[in-house]
Amino acid sequence: MPASNPSRLFLSGNEAVARAVWESGCKVAAAYPGTPSTEMLEVISTYPEIYSEWSVNEKVALEVAIGAAFAGSRAFCAMKHVGMNVASDALMTLTLTGVIGGLVIAIADDVGLSSSQNEQDSRFWGRFAHLPVFEPADSQEAYEMTKLAFDFSEQHQVPVILRMTTRINHVKGLVSVGTRAEHPNLGGFKKDPARWVMTPAGAGRRIPLMFERDVALAAAAEVSPLNSVESGRDRRVGFVASGPTYMHVKESFPDAPVLKLGFSCPVPVEKIRTFAATVDKLIVVEEVEPLVEKELKAAGIACHGKDLLPKQGELAPNVLRPAIAKLLGEPAPEHLAPPAPVFPRPPTMCVACPHLGVYYTLSQIKNITISGDIGCYTLGAGHPWNALDTTISMGASMGIALGLDKGRGEADKDKRILAVIGDSTFLHMGMQGLLDIVYNRGNVTVLLLDNRAVGMTGGQPDPGSGRDIHGEPAPRVDFAKLVEALGVKKERIHVVDPYQLPVLFKAIREEIKIPEVSVIITDQPCVLIDDYKKQKPYEVLDAKCTGCGNCIEVGCPAIHVVRREKAIKPSGKEVELQFVRIETSVCTGCGLCVQPCAPDAIVPADPSKPIRLVKH
């Protein structure tokens, strides 16, 4: 990855940011993995000149970066949009202290909800925390703005938010790169309690300085080359756009004038006012919220925005063109074919995922309410398990389960409350919730699904994996001891193999009957990490398969229905039989499907037979 001489590389936005972080002489980088931001730290971890770490959550990651910047070194922190909600406690005080070494905070907004529980606009954090926001429109700009952000951060002693979106994070382009320039430490940490110790009195003295900085930032935004006007011949409409919306505008209206915002907070109001005077109608194109539009209208600048454009999703040409045509009184443009339809495929767990057995078991237990959490195991809410009743945010399964217990009414008085959480999520934000359940004597059974990785984002290590970001051995947390330390009775803690369905079923059935806190830890590695060891695959004996479909209820993607038949049971009820095959090329031999197969039709595959591929 590192290039010794200036060259051009084919990089995604995430890779371009990582390259720029390295070239800028950054010394410390930290993050918690989360789509679409994950690859930034993955790439940075390959640069030996930078100390890098997966932190247990975004708040800690930001705190690590803050400490390095206080010590005079350049530091970097990355997270997805919901991660900033976690990190915001540190951020909102950081805005008062400022920094010494350059600090860049990359926030990746999941516009379009490709892999998130909500869609939010991280530009708000710039307004809320009085911080500058840079918005790249492609990989080259992601690279250049990251380098500029470090310089700007040190010049104004303020952290800079680099706002990315999924489109920029993952799309690749050619990037002209340079080489790493060692950046000197800016004098080390200097004791200054009035600045670094934010007591109410100290913080109060820093607030006027923050407002002075706002004035300087606003002046810088007005003259910044990152905010540029591109002239056009068709002045019926002029656009204000930033990030990927700039690309969508240029593709849709190549002849229209555009004011491109790369330094979008504070908004360069006077620059936009001057631009607005050169066009008939001003249109602000922004994903997701109308932040700039509202600020312009408050400043008395007439403009259109969300009165024409949707507040949700990407503003691609097939959205922009009809909306602007309507404004101009023109017919809707032709040849606006919607994106090519993608065959619908519901999200599902991996073949042999250790969570399959957990949700299969939960689907067989009645009279329970299950509070879920964020991670691969959120998919347990879907078919065929339908085994989650709530999912809100990272770590929330604990507190919500306690609330379901304490707030239960007459209709729920006999229901068992169960919370499901993964190992990384438990370390991220779940531990405090379990402590609260114990402290307040909740009647909740907790399923802690330890798969030794942050599975949803690609199997990154965490303190439960025994490895660090470089794959080197690291201390591994003992979850049984940890939950005992949080107050769970030793006899109420069980470690089970999630592939042993009868054992798992028995443990859950017994513990939900106990009117106190129980924790059942399932301990098998994610199938995507090196710890997972494949076994010999299984196959279905066609002659013995009765079409009962019990194996389908496990939910393994390697099992395919190849034939359906109607049949009449002795009771007279009509049923649909589903005859299956196992795609032996992907089966890992976990054995989950074998256990519910009553006719013993699933057996180890005959290695002398060719690998069976299911025809669709």
C-alpha span between 147 and 160 (Å, rounded): 11
> What's the Cα-to-Cα distance from 197 to each of 96, 369, 529, 556, 614, rounded to whole Å?
10, 45, 42, 54, 64
Give the DSSP letter of residue 377: G
Cβ neighbour number for residue 202 with a 10 Å cutoff: 15
Q: How do strand 258-261 and strand 263-265 relate by DSSP bridges? A: unpaired
Which pLDDT score, from 0 to 100, does residue 331 have?
A: 85
Distance CA 189, CA 197 (A): 13
Q: Are 36 and 169 contacting, i.e. CB atoms less than 8 angstroms apart? A: yes
Pairing of strands 258-261, 227-230: antiparallel
Place of tokens 């999630």: 498
**If you count them, how many residues does the chain have?**
616
DSSP state of 426: I
pTM of the model: 0.91
What does residue 438 show for φ and ψ, rounded to 5 degrees? -65, -50
Among residues 160, 257, 262, which one has the least CA distance to residue 221? 262
- HSE-CB at 439 with a 13 A cutoff on CA atoms is 9
Q: How far apart are CA 280 and CA 116, in angstroms?
A: 39
Write the CB contacts of 403 (distance below 8 Å, at least 6 apart in sequence): none
Q: Are 35 and 82 in contact (CB under 8 A)?
A: no
562 SS3 class: strand
Distances in Å between the alpha carbon of 477 and those of 58, 436, 465, 482, 518?
19, 20, 8, 8, 19
- Cα 613 to Cα 21, 536, 616, distances in angstroms: 45, 16, 9
CA–CA dist 421, 180 (Å, integer): 41
Look at the block and give the residue holding tokens 């109420």. 492
CA 418/CA 397 separation, integer angstroms: 9
Paired strand residues for 53: 30
Distance CA 243, CA 284 (A): 12
Q: Tokens 């100290």 sit at which residue?
A: 202
Residue 491: both structure tokens together:
């006899």
Q: Which of 377, 371, 376, 415 is nearest to 396 (CA)?
A: 371
pLDDT of residue 598: 87
- How many Å separate Cα 565 from the centre of its chain? 42
69-108 b/e with 16+ CB inside 10 Å = b? bbbbbbbbbbbbbbbbbbbbebbeebbbbbbbbbbbbbbb
Q: What pLDDT, on the 0 to 100 scale, is given for residue 616?
A: 45
What is residue 520's three-state secondary structure?
strand
Nearest CA-CA partner of 537 in 612, 455, 445, 439: 612
Which residue in 531, 603, 606, 582 sits closest to 354, CA to CA?
A: 531
For the chain, 616 residues long, the average pLDDT of each consecutive 10-residue run is 71 98 98 96 97 97 97 97 95 97 97 86 96 97 98 98 95 95 94 93 95 98 98 96 96 96 97 98 96 97 96 92 92 70 76 96 95 94 93 95 95 95 96 97 97 92 95 96 98 97 97 97 94 93 93 94 90 90 94 93 83 52
The Cα 390–Cα 369 span in angstroms is 9
